[in-house]
Amino acid sequence: MFTKNATEALNLAIFGLLLPGDHVITSSMEHNSAMRPLRELESKGVEVSVIRCSPRGELDPGDLMTAIKKNTKAVILTHASNVTGTIMPVREVGNITREHGLILCVDSAQTAGVLPIDVSEMNLDLLAFSGHKSLFGPQGTGGLYIRKGIEEKIKPLIVGGTGSRSEHESQPDFMPDRYESGTLNTAGLAGLGAGAEYILRKGIDHIRTKEILLTQYFLDGLKSISSVRIYGPGEASRQISVVSFNVDGLTPSEVSFAFDEQYGILSRPGLHCAPSAHRTIGTFPGGTVRFSFGYFNTEEEINYALDAVRQLSRRRKE
């Protein structure tokens, strides 16, 4: 069913599913779109366990196993960190949740459109996605995949007119109408459909291969600059095309401001709506500078970005 973004999809999954007395497990690399609804519910009697990931943002599935308790209901996990790009072991986690009868909700805001996702094979019960990132849709689009049967366990976030069963004053119980009340962003969703068709035409493997090449090229270049500290796996095949780094002696804001003002490069400094992830990798509260590449970026642009980083770090020393 469609939502206006991944945040709304995660809110629906989390608030719809969890009740006081339930236990839920998540990782320390989550975006606030998952962490804030969980913390809100924690204050209302839901038990929340946050598994500490490694300083590179990696989750050990063994830690998840040991966190499972009698009242554990669900695992909420990002598919890849928006801070370090680290790809989470969702397949292994899916095996664990299936074995223990838990509901697995994955946040694919950073991966839908670039990493292959097979909800059956990966044992995913819920999958939240953004339309406006790697799915090439317009802003204001997103959605939640709900495995057949799971909808009985998830309360709608809003109820109202659906254009169906209008003779009843109670909400329809079938998909997607149970969750899609009010007029949807039809024009935006048509754009999202066009984005998805483009991806299917190009092939997700082709898109991922290009993003790996660009990311590795940038990482290799950064590694040759001594004043740059890179966070995350530092290896393109183990991450998505998000690269976080800092330049010694400069704050992330100074670096991003200079990229924007002097080079016309947009990057994002700070905590990236994921304070817990920055605590995990040791960059709280200052954060990092984050670059993210897309299918349409070129090697030439990466050379230009690397030159900008070299010039900035040289100027810092003068």
Give the residue numbers annotated as catalytic, written as ranges.
Answer: 273
Residue with tokens 């236990």: 23
Q: How far is the CB of 37 from ligand PLP (least distance, A)?
A: 11
Q: How far is the CB of 98 from ligand PLP (least distance, A)?
A: 23
Query: Which x/- pattern over 100-129 shows residues binding ligand PLP (rule: CB under 6 A)?
Result: -------x-xx-------------------
Query: Which x/- pattern over 181-200 shows residues binding ligand PLP (rule: CB under 6 A)?
Result: --------------------
Q: How far is the CB of 280 from ligand PLP (least distance, A)?
A: 14
Dist CA 139 CA 206 (whole Å)? 24
Q: How far is the CB of 244 from ligand PLP (least distance, A)?
A: 12
6 binds ligand PLP (CB under 6 A): yes
* Peptide linkage before 252 cis (omega within 30 of 0): no
Q: Quick one: which of 183, 36, 179, 27 has its CA closest to 106?
A: 27
The CA radius of gyration of the chain, in Å to the nearest whole number, is 21
Candidates 37, 113, 142, 234; binder of ligand PLP (CB under 6 A) is: 142
Query: Which x/- pattern over 69-88 shows residues binding ligand PLP (rule: CB under 6 A)?
Result: ---------x---x------
288 binds ligand PLP (CB under 6 A): no
Q: Quick one: which of 66, 63, 74, 62 has its CA closest to 18?
A: 74
Helix H segments across the chain?
6-17, 32-42, 61-67, 90-100, 186-202, 204-223, 252-258, 275-281, 299-317
Q: How far is the CB of 176 from ligand PLP (least distance, A)?
A: 18
In 10 A of CB 162, how many CB atoms? 17
97 binds ligand PLP (CB under 6 A): no
Candidates 11, 25, 31, 38; binder of ligand PLP (CB under 6 A) is: 31
Q: Is residue 296 within a helix (H) or strand (E), and if so which, with residue range?
A: none
53 binds ligand PLP (CB under 6 A): no
Residue 124 or 306 having the CB closest to ligand PLP: 124
Q: How far is the CB of 36 from ligand PLP (least distance, A)?
A: 11
Name every residue whose Cβ is closer than 8 Å to that of residue 38 and which is 6 or more positions away in sequence: 14, 24, 26, 30, 46, 48, 76
Q: How far is the CB of 265 from ligand PLP (least distance, A)?
A: 19
How many residues are there in the chain? 318
Candidates 11, 26, 28, 33; binder of ligand PLP (CB under 6 A) is: 33
Kindly state the DSSP code that residue 117 receives in the 8-state scheme.
-
Residue 263 or 284 having the CB closest to ligand PLP: 284
The β-bridge relationship of strands 142-146 and 103-107 is unpaired
Dist CA 155 CA 167 (whole Å)? 21
Residue 128 or 222 having the CB closest to ligand PLP: 128
Residue 7 or 288 having the CB closest to ligand PLP: 7
Residue 109 or 306 having the CB closest to ligand PLP: 109
The β-bridge relationship of strands 268-270 and 288-292 is antiparallel
280 binds ligand PLP (CB under 6 A): no
Helix H segments across 84-203?
90-100, 186-202
Residue 6 or 306 having the CB closest to ligand PLP: 6
User: Which residues of the shown chain bind ligand PLP in the complex (CB under 6 A)?
Assistant: 5-7, 31, 33, 78, 82, 107, 109-110, 130, 142
